[in-house]
Amino acid sequence: RLTSNTKVAENRETVKVIIEIIIYLARQNIPFRGHDESVNSLNRGNFLQLVKLLSHHHPILSHHMAKIDNSKKKNRLTFLSNVSQNTLIHILGEIVRKNLLTSVAKAGKFSVIIDTTTDVACLEQFSMILRFVDESGHIKERLVALEVVDDSSGRVMFNLFCNICSKYGLNWKSNLIAQSYDGAASMQGQYSDVRTLVQQQNPRAIYVWCFSHVLNLVVVDTCDSCKETHIFFGNIQSLKEFMRARKRTALFLEYQKKFYPDKRPLRMKTFSTTRWTSHHRSLFVIFEKFKAIVATLEDFSESIDRLCSSTANNLLKNITSFSFVTVMFLMNKIIDITTPLSTYLQTPSNDYIQALTMVDIADQRLSKLRTQESVDTILKESKEFSVKNELDEIEFPKIRQRKRKRMDDENNSDEITNSPVDYFRTNVYFLCIDKIKVSLTVRFKDARNIIKDLSFLSYERLLKVSNGDVVPKDTFDSLETWIPEIDKDSIGMEYINFVMSFQKLQSGICPEQLHDEDVLINENTSDEDDSIINSEM
């Protein structure tokens, strides 16, 4: 008979193997459960099947499985049930979190990244990530909490953030130095948002954007700036969805070969409402292959399928309108300015100063578009495009005004409305450019001075300074204001000393001779050798 100590040792070994299985499945992002985990099932899920496989090579686990099969007790502790799996996963998670919080406590200062997303169960998940520097000087980003939220308002998000910090002993009022969220109004607005509520109690918790995400949010602002742009991008999205079918794509490719025999065929790109590059790709295909798209829609507008015919006919009517063409040319102008900025912001190692400079340049170029000459140019190009592609509309249709009923003794006449061109200039062209300019200014204005100071620690800026670029006198002023524990003069001296040796450290260049010859002779000559040399002399 087994002693109690032996049983405890066997149970520990069994649990150890099961924990290793859980860690393996979790690390590989493999689901645990199966659709049918009954004894007679051919596939009981990844967890149970992996336990069974390892039991063939592990005597103690094999003995444990045999006891389960031979036992008549229904409530026997097997460590294999879904409850046991969840319990062990929770325990392992708490161990990981404890180690994480210990590292954060040693680091002292930290920043938070918070985001929300909807999971497959349509539940809103609130995720909170801590960013800190470990004892080795490495930057770490670690998930500390994942909670389900029923309300996505700023106050609810802030309360959840406070509860998480209180639960895990995070002193955010003293040690939080930065915060980064998505662009939702509840997260980054000016009044009852998370950012403002945090900064009311901790002014040092600066708000930092993800720059490429900011530009994507500018896209959303631009798309919804007026009714015409809203409808324009809605038509593009509908066109993409319609052209997804294999038969329609094949016909579209055939018409491209017919109309553009010397050019490479293109496919309709995936359209995302929040990605600038997605808009660029979609507009490029429509602009370059417009005649092939129209021919494809004309064919399917005569389809015997009523839904297909109706959809194709509506799309054909929308994309061949002069309003669609003018907005397309307007968006092409804007995209030509913003795409280089978007591309640069998505590079892994960009220079923050250069990024902000490119934002300012884009804003200046947009300002130059806000002229009557630019409006006339777009209208001229749109008309030429419509004539070239044999469209029915080569100018804006006249705006018909509904007459207001007048009383018998009323002498006032109806006001004269603006012409279609005036309407486009004021309510579409200027409005759209003004909206994107305001969006760029508002979304890129935060923490500019601190970001400029931090940029001098980037690889690109260190390389430029080591090559002779001048370090401004006010460098690190904002850092000292942001974190009073930092001494500006000390950092300045350390920075200059580091820059002086940066190129050698970066290239790993060795000198032509490591040691001085006299030093080598003295180090390799003993006292006995010296006496012999002196006696010979």
DSSP 387-437: HHTT-S-SSPPPPPPPPPP--TT--PPPPPPPPHHHHHIIIIIIHHHHHHH
Is it the case that residue 177 has pLDDT exceeding 60? yes
What is the longest distance spanned by two Cα atoms in the chain? 138
* CATH code of the domain occupying 103-208: 3.30.420.40
- Residue ranges of the chain that CATH labels 3.30.420.40: 103-208
Contact 325, 343 (CB under 8 A): no
Residue 111 bridge partners (DSSP): 131, 178
Residue 177 bridge partners (DSSP): none
Q: What is the DSSP letter of 133?
A: E
Is it the case that residue 186 has pLDDT exceeding 60? no
pLDDT score of 339: 80
Edge-to-edge strand ranges of the sheet holding 139-149: 139-149, 124-133, 110-118, 176-180, 206-207
Residue 31 bridge partners (DSSP): none
pLDDT (tens digit per residue) in 367-397: 999 999 999 999 999 999 999 998 988 888 8
Q: What is the DSSP letter of 146?
A: E
d(CA 442, CA 212): 15
d(CA 396, CA 425): 12
Which range, of 212-221, 474-483, 519-528, averages the lowest pLDDT?
A: 519-528
pLDDT score of 293: 94
Contact 281, 267 (CB under 8 A): no
Q: In this structure, how many other beta carbons lie within 10 angstroms of the beta carbon of residue 459?
A: 11
Residue 127 bridge partners (DSSP): 115, 146
pLDDT score of 533: 46
pLDDT score of 182: 64
pLDDT score of 190: 45
What share of the chain has pLDDT > 90, as a percent?
A: 37
Tell me which range, 5-9, 101-105, 396-400, is most confidently predicted by mean pLDDT.
101-105
**Mean pLDDT to the nearest integer, 49-67:** 92
Is it the case that residue 420 has pLDDT exceeding 80? yes
pLDDT (tens digit per residue) in 308-343: 999 999 999 999 999 999 999 998 898 888 888 877
**Mean pLDDT to the nearest integer, 181-187:** 57
What average pLDDT is seen over the chain? 82
Tell me which range, 111-115, 161-165, 436-440, 496-500, is most confidently predicted by mean pLDDT.
161-165
Rg value, the chain, Cα: 34
Is it the case that residue 191 has pLDDT exceeding 50? no
pLDDT score of 374: 93
Contact 273, 220 (CB under 8 A): yes
pLDDT (tens digit per residue) in 264-310: 988 887 766 556 667 778 888 999 999 999 999 999 999 888 999 99
pLDDT (tens digit per residue) in 219-260: 666 777 788 888 998 898 899 889 888 899 999 999 999 999
